[in-house]
Structure formats: C-alpha cells, structure tokens
C-alpha cells in the first residue's frame, strides 16, 4: 500500500506541476518559472537582511549628506560584487535644503525655550549619536518672527474657517498645528498656513495620534515617546515633484534653472516640527475660546484656540546652496528581450537613521540584488532587463526618482514594462500591496506562492488584513484599501508620496508598491532606528525576507512572462468604480450611469444658469458606455490570451506585437496637457490630492468638486477618448490573435 500511495502522490504532484498556471505564462514556461522562483526564494536570509539593515542604519543619512553619498558608493560596490551590470551613479544638482540653526522660545506670558532635540533612550545606543540633527523641516524658508501663537488643529482649510468663526485671524501670527490621523501631508498644512497669511507654522505630534494614548512608547513599545520629532519636507510636490528649479526636466549638472521665487513647489513660509514635550507649554498657556471636542488631544488639559497674549520668538536659518544628489542604477540585462525593462527601486535617504523609512526597504533591496546575482551565477537570467535603482532625496520632494525619470522619460516610455516600488518594507506584520488595477490580479496571484511567518500563504494573511481593515478602518496606513470585486485585495487607489509618482503620473508606466505595516509611532524621528526594528518592527527580520521574496517573484514574473500579465477587464471594472464613486459623492449634479436615471441635467441645478448654452451638471452615460466597451474588449482579450497561452504555441513575432500593444495601454491614460492646473501630472485615472491622499479621475473630480462644468465636460471627453483608444487597441490585438 505504501509504495502505491507514494506513487499516487507523485502522480498528483506531477499533475499539479503540469497544471501550474501563472498569469502570462504558457504551461511549459510556468513550470520553468516555478523552478526559478523556488531557487530565488531560497536565497534571501534574515541574517543577511539584518546585516544590511545595520549598515544602512549605522549613521544618519539625509539626502545630500556625506554619509548618504558614501552609501551610494557602498551600494554600487556591493552590486558589482553581487554580479549586477552597467552600474552607474547619476548625479543631479538640485536646490539644497539643510538646517543651519533653529530657535523657538515663548516670551509671554511666561518664558520657555524649546529643546528642539530628541535625547537618548535607555538601551538604544544609537539615540546617543551626536550626529542626530535637531528639529527641522525640509524646504522651510529662513527667517525670524516674534508673534502670537494660535492653535489651528490639523492646519486644514476648514480649521481656519472655524478660527475665523471665532473671530481669530492668523495673519502675521505663528500657527501651531498637529500631525493628523488620517494622514494629511505636512506640505499641505504649510501651503494652507501660507495662504492664510501666517508668518510661520509649528507642527507637533500629539500623543493621541502616535504616542502614549496608542500604547507603550519607545523604548518599551512601538509608539512615539515624549521627545520624538517628526521631521519631513513641506515641498509642494503635489504641484510638481523633484527639484523645484527644474520643473519637468532633469537637474543634470549645467541644466537650466528657474529662480526659486518662481518655483511653484517651493514654500514661502517658515516651518518647524516639535515634540509634544515642546508643544505642551505653549498649549498649556494659551487662552481664548476653548477648542472644540475633536480638536482636543491627549496632553491632559483643555486645549484653547489662543489669543494675542501668548507670544513666541522663532528664528530659522537654512542652507539653500545647490547640492548634488546621487541615484545608483544597476542592471541584470535580459537574455531575450533586453530592450524591455522591469524597473524597480527604493530610496536611500533617511531623516535620521531610517530604521523603517527607508532602510528596511534598502536592506530588502540588497538581498533582492544578491539573489538575482546568485541566479545569474547559476546561469539564470531574466528574459527582460531588470533595472534596479537606489533613489536619493525622496524625502525632500521625490527628487532623485523624479529627476531620473525626467532624464530618461523617452526611453522609459518605449521600454518600461512596469515599476515596482518598495519604500518602507517593514514596520510590522500587515501586508499592504498596491497596484494599478491591471496588475492587481498578478500581484494577488504572486502572494499565493509565498508563506508568511505564521505558515499561512501570504495571500491568506493579506486577506485577513484587508477584512480586518474593512471592519476597523486602516490602523496606521496613509492609504485606504479598496477593491472592486468583493475578494479583491490589492489597493488600486494610488496617491503620491513615494517614488512611483514619476513613473505612473508623468510617464504612464504601471506600478506596484509592496510593504508590511504595523504600529509605528516613531516615523521620521531619530528613534526610527535599528533598536526599534529589532524590538518592535521585525525582530527576526522575517518580514524583510518575505518582502525580498515577493519583490523577486513579482519582478521575475514581469520579466519572464510570455505575454505581459495585464488584466484590462479588471482595469475597466475599477474605472467604473471610480466613476460611480464620483457620482455618489456628487449626487445632486451628476447623472448616474447605466441609463437608469434620465433627469435632464439642466434641471438638476439652476443656480448658475445664466447661459443656457452650458447647462450645469454632467451626464456620464456615454462615459459608462465607453467603459463597458473597454471592459468587453478586455474580457475578450483575456480569454483569447489565456487560450493562446494554454495552447503552448506562441510565435515570438506575435508575442512581441502583443506585448508592445499591452504596454501601450497605460501610456494612453496620459493627457499631454496634464490635469488642469497641474500639467506635470498627466495620468487621467490616477492622481493625488494636496494632502497626498489618492484622487481618482483627478482632472474630472476636481472640476466637478468646483462645479466648473466646462472643464468637467472637457475632462470627461478626454477620459472617454482614452477609453475609446484603448478599446480599439485591445480589439486590434484580439484580431491579430484570431488571425493566427
């Protein structure tokens, strides 16, 4: 009996192998791919992840610093040893933003001088490092002011409305705002304060959001301690990312530069981050009206809005000389299709040590490249070229990736298949995967072939995270999870805030974003370090290792696929969801789809009806029809491609034609003029709000929210045209398949 059982098992496992299906692969290629993946997955090790993590977290390494530049050389040397080729260190000369000095003191009603430093934590030797910077925000202007301090909650526009309703103006004053949950980008808070005429902005971390109110604080737990300061940049990179003086072109040495006064992304306001320890004396001594309930925090006394009684003196001195940033690039040239690129990257620069952000990602990247090098030594090369980049200055304004993308935009437009971004690889055990909708199914499928430390498949673990977040709301993420199908896991709503931006929004390259999240209260502070990672974030470096494995599996599937694994039926369903959400959020002015509602748009709103030629409101029915056409072309193509792959007979010439067409779809979502008011951002499906929050159908949505109907109609027409073009493209590809 026993031998028979074994024989049966062998037969079954052979059957399983024979039926192995990977999106984009013929059965024979899939079996080969699984062998490659098994070899790849066995290479990354927790010990090596930890060793690399220690190299990167040894010293502070902000953008442009000597240490960060040394790390660029270190990466280039390691990649050489690992077997990567064509290693280049690209130099970009960018507008520099470095702190010289800062001073903040309360001068009335009592005196208090802010520490603006974080101080050592027991047990964490790195926290004693004298190279740790004081409190500063990238892109603050230099200046000096003595003025009253007003508490403006999260510093969003509605907060200033409330102050106005209480008779409080912030003109010429210093506003004290707090980091907020849900996340709102501090650059948006700075722009809002600037627009309100404030002289300066102080931003602090209330323990309600990331400190003792959430749980144990560092060094006893993962949350932010009393003295932690959340640094960060306030660049208006939601207008245009990268070097503010070279909007839309690369800051290669000698490039033309516009005066900083003309740069739309350069803030014109002084700004400084402070710990709650430094914020407390200010909040405690404020008078004026009591702040509303949802403006209160966890400091144990009632917060007030302030008056002219409390005065502070603030002086900030910055160094803004032009300085070089360095992007390291390395490749594993493709064996069969060297001119098709799978690009991937992680930023190197950190606010201080960068335990999570970004050195967890950097360590994972170094293991990715080591494993790719090992495969190469075994004679296993990807079919397409893998391009790996270590970005600089992400924290300042997505600068390195933006300049590199702008420099190579033409080439990337022709050659790039996809971009995979890993920023923070690990701050805890909860997987978060982002994908443009066409790549969501391939990402989900890839997670089925991996196991999380509990032994579950990563897919199962991810599903539990998504289900939990649906119930409770996301725990610490700045992104919201949402899918179209009820079992969809990938977050297909992609905002800004990391290095994928230039690829998706400027060049039209499909993107993936990978990382694990958890309770993380030390973001951008000196305490985001090796100690924190080893005690709270990922003590065994298992999630670092898993990130490397998933990173490699997704990169190798994209690099080796016979036919690129894009699913445009899923894309269509997502676009429909985006349009439905827009309609649901603007019910009174939009005709919903499917022809079910037939109200005359002219009767929907009549307040602005002075000219009958341009009726208010928007009719989305023809847009829905265009989505339906795109979806049915996508479904038809999906099944034709699946059949073709299943047949195992794929002519290389036909594959080349199909892949070229499949790559073109994402490019077709770009509008050359960009979204209204923000021409650098060209993608018409994906954008970001000024807060960095995702914003679907950005041009159309912003026009609808402003009730600017001529622009809304024009944006709807642009979207409809892009849908038609892509439908036609898919139909053409279908015909080529049928002709075979």
532: Cα within 13 Å, side-chain hemisphere: 33
Q: CB of 543: closest distance to Zn ion in angstroms?
A: 16
Q: CB of 400: closest distance to Zn ion in angstroms?
A: 12
Burial (CB count <10 Å: 0-12, 13-18, 19+), residue 227: buried
Q: Which is nearer to Zn ion, 59 or 357 (CB)?
A: 357
Q: Which is nearer to Zn ion, 118 or 357 (CB)?
A: 357
The answer to whether the beta carbons of residues 200 and 270 sit under 8 Å apart is yes
Nearest to 705 by CA among 683, 687, 721: 687
The answer to whether the beta carbons of residues 607 and 705 sit under 8 Å apart is no
Task: Answer yes or no whether residue 357 interacts with Zn ion by CB under 5 A.
Answer: yes
The answer to whether the beta carbons of residues 199 and 144 sit under 8 Å apart is no
**Residues whose CB falls within 8 Å of the CB of residue 7, separated by 6 or more in sequence, listed in order:** none
**Residues whose CB falls within 8 Å of the CB of residue 626, separated by 6 or more in sequence, listed in order:** 719, 720, 723, 724, 727
- Tokens 């990257």 belong to residue: 345
129-137, 325-333, 351-359, 692-700 -> range binding Zn ion (CB under 5 A): 351-359
Task: Give the footprint of Zn ion on residues 39-78 (CB under 5 A).
Answer: none
Q: Which is nearer to Zn ion, 267 or 358 (CB)?
A: 358
Q: CB of 496: closest distance to Zn ion in angstroms?
A: 12
Q: Which is nearer to Zn ion, 392 or 423 (CB)?
A: 423
Q: Which is nearer to Zn ion, 502 or 670 (CB)?
A: 502
Q: Which is nearer to Zn ion, 394 or 469 (CB)?
A: 394
Q: CB of 232: closest distance to Zn ion in angstroms?
A: 10
**Residues whose CB falls within 8 Å of the CB of residue 71, separated by 6 or more in sequence, listed in order:** 55, 56, 61, 348
Q: CB of 434: closest distance to Zn ion in angstroms?
A: 14
Q: CB of 356: closest distance to Zn ion in angstroms?
A: 8
Q: Which is nearer to Zn ion, 196 or 423 (CB)?
A: 423
x-marked contacts with Zn ion along 416-445 as a string, rule CB under 5 A: -------x----------------------
Q: Which is nearer to Zn ion, 173 or 231 (CB)?
A: 231
Nearest to 514 by CA among 393, 430, 396, 398: 430
- Residue 602's CB: how many other CB atoms inside 10 A? 13
Q: CB of 223: closest distance to Zn ion in angstroms?
A: 19
Nearest to 346 by CA among 405, 420, 406, 412: 420
Paired with 98 in beta bridges are: 319
Instruction: Give the β-pairing of 384-391 and 323-332.
Output: antiparallel
117-125, 358-366, 427-435, 569-577 -> range binding Zn ion (CB under 5 A): 358-366
Q: CB of 535: closest distance to Zn ion in angstroms?
A: 21
Give the tokens for residue 107.
């001068």
Q: Which is nearer to Zn ion, 59 or 394 (CB)?
A: 394
Q: CB of 430: closest distance to Zn ion in angstroms?
A: 17
CB burial of 578-600 (b: ≥16 within 10 Å; e: otherwise) equals bbbebbeebeebbbbbeeeeeee
Q: Which is nearer to Zn ion, 280 or 500 (CB)?
A: 500
Q: CB of 361: closest distance to Zn ion in angstroms?
A: 7
Q: CB of 330: closest distance to Zn ion in angstroms?
A: 20
x-marked contacts with Zn ion along 372-411 as a string, rule CB under 5 A: ----------------------------------------
55-63, 352-360, 681-689, 725-733 -> range binding Zn ion (CB under 5 A): 352-360
Give the tokens for residue 693.
């929050």
Q: How many residues bind Zn ion (CB under 5 A)?
A: 3
Q: CB of 597: closest distance to Zn ion in angstroms?
A: 44
Q: Which is nearer to Zn ion, 64 or 358 (CB)?
A: 358
Cα separation, 235 vs 245, whole angstroms:
12
x-marked contacts with Zn ion along 575-614 as a string, rule CB under 5 A: ----------------------------------------
Cα separation, 618 vs 715, whole angstroms:
11
**Residues whose CB falls within 8 Å of the CB of residue 348, separated by 6 or more in sequence, listed in order:** 56, 61, 68, 71, 72, 75, 328, 358, 362, 390, 391, 392
Inter-residue long-range contacts of 730-735, CB under 8 Å, 24+ positions, other chains counted: 730/568, 730/630, 730/633, 730/634, 730/636, 730/637, 730/661, 730/665, 731/633, 732/661, 733/637, 733/657, 733/658, 733/661, 733/662, 734/633, 734/636, 734/637, 734/640
Q: Which is nearer to Zn ion, 140 or 360 (CB)?
A: 360
Paired with 325 in beta bridges are: 92
Residues that bind Zn ion (CB under 5 A): 357-358, 423
């Amino acid at each position: 009996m026993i031998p028979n059982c074994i024989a049966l098992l062998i037969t079954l496992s052979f059957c399983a192998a024979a039926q192995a299906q990977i999106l984009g692969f013929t059965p024979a290629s899939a079996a080969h791919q699984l062998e490659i993946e098994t070899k790849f997955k066995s290479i990354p090790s927790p010990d090596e992840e930890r060793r690399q993590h220690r190299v990167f977290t040894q010293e502070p390494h902000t953008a442009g610093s000597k240490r960060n530049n040394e790390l660029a050389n270190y990466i280039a040397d390691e990649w050489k040893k690992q077997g990567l080729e064509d290693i280049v260190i690209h130099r970009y000369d960018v507008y520099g933003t470095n702190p010289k000095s800062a001073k903040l003191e309360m001068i009335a009603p009592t005196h208090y001088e802010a520490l603006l430093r974080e101080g050592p934590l027991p047990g964490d030797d790195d926290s004693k490092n004298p190279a740790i910077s004081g409190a500063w925000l990238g892109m603050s202007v230099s200046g000096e002011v003595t003025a009253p301090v007003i508490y403006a909650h999260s510093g969003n526009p509605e907060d200033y409305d409330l102050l106005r309703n209480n008779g409080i103006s912030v003109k010429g004053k210093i506003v004290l705002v707090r980091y907020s949950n849900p996340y709102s980008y501090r650059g948006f808070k700075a722009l809002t304060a600037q627009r309100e005429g404030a002289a300066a902005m102080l931003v602090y971390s209330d323990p309600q959001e990331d400190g003792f109110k959430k749980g144990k604080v560092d060094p006893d737990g993962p949350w932010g301690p009393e003295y932690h300061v959340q640094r960060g940049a306030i660049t208006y990179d939601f207008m245009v990312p990268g070097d503010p003086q070279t909007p839309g072109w690369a800051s290669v040495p000698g490039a033309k530069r516009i005066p900083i006064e003309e740069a739309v992304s350069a803030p014109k306001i002084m700004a400084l981050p402070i710990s709650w320890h430094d914020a407390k004396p200010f909040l405690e001594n404020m008078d004026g009206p009591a702040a509303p309930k949802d403006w209160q925090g966890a400091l144990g006394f009632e917060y007030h809005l302030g008056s002219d009684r409390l005065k502070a003196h603030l002086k900030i001195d910055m160094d803004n000389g032009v300085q070089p940033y360095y992007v390291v690039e390395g490749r594993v040239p493709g064996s069969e299709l060297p001119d098709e690129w799978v690009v991937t990257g992680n930023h190197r620069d950190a606010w201080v040590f960068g335990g999570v952000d970004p050195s967890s990602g950097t360590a994972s990247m170094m293991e990715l490249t080591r494993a790719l090098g090992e495969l190469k030594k075994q004679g296993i090369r990807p079919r397409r070229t893998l391009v790996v980049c270590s970005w600089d200055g992400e924290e300042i304004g997505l600068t390195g990736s933006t300049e590199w993308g702008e420099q190579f935009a033409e080439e990337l437009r022709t050659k790039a298949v996809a971009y995979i971004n890993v920023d923070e690889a690990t701050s805890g055990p909860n997987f978060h995967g982002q994908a443009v909708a066409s790549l969501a199914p391939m990402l989900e499928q890839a997670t089925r072939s991996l196991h999380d430390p509990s032994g579950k498949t990563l897919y199962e673990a991810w599903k539990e995270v998504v289900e939990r977040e649906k119930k409770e709301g996301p725990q610490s993420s700045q992104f919201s999870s949402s899918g179209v199908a009820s079992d969809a896991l990938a977050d297909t709503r992609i905002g800004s805030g990391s290095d994928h931006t230039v690829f998706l929004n400027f060049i039209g390259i499909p993107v993936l974003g990978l990382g694990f999240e958890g309770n993380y209260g030390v973001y951008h502070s000196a305490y985001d370090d090796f100690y924190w990672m080893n005690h709270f974030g990922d003590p065994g470096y298992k999630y670092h290792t898993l990130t490397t494995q998933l990173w490699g599996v997704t990169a190798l599937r994209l690099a080796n696929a016979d036919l690129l694994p894009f699913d445009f039926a899923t894309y269509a369903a997502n676009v429909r969801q985006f349009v439905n959400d827009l309609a649901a959020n603007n019910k009174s002015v939009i005709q919903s789809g499917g022809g079910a509602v037939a109200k005359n748009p002219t009767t929907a709103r009549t307040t602005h009806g002075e000219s009958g030629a341009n009726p208010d409101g928007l009719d989305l029915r023809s847009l829905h029809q265009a989505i339906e056409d795109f979806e049915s072309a996508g479904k038809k193509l999906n099944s034709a491609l699946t059949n073709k792959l299943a047949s195992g007979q794929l002519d290389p010439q036909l594959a080349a034609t199909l892949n070229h067409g499949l790559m073109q779809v994402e490019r077709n979502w770009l509008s050359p003029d960009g979204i209204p008011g923000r021409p650098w951002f060209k993608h018409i499906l994906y954008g970001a709000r000024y807060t960095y929050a995702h914003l679907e159908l950005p041009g159309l949505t912003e026009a609808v929210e402003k009730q600017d109907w001529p622009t809304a109609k024009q944006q709807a027409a642009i979207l409809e045209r892009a849908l038609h073009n892509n439908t036609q493209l898919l139909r053409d590809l279908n015909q080529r398949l049928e002709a075979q």
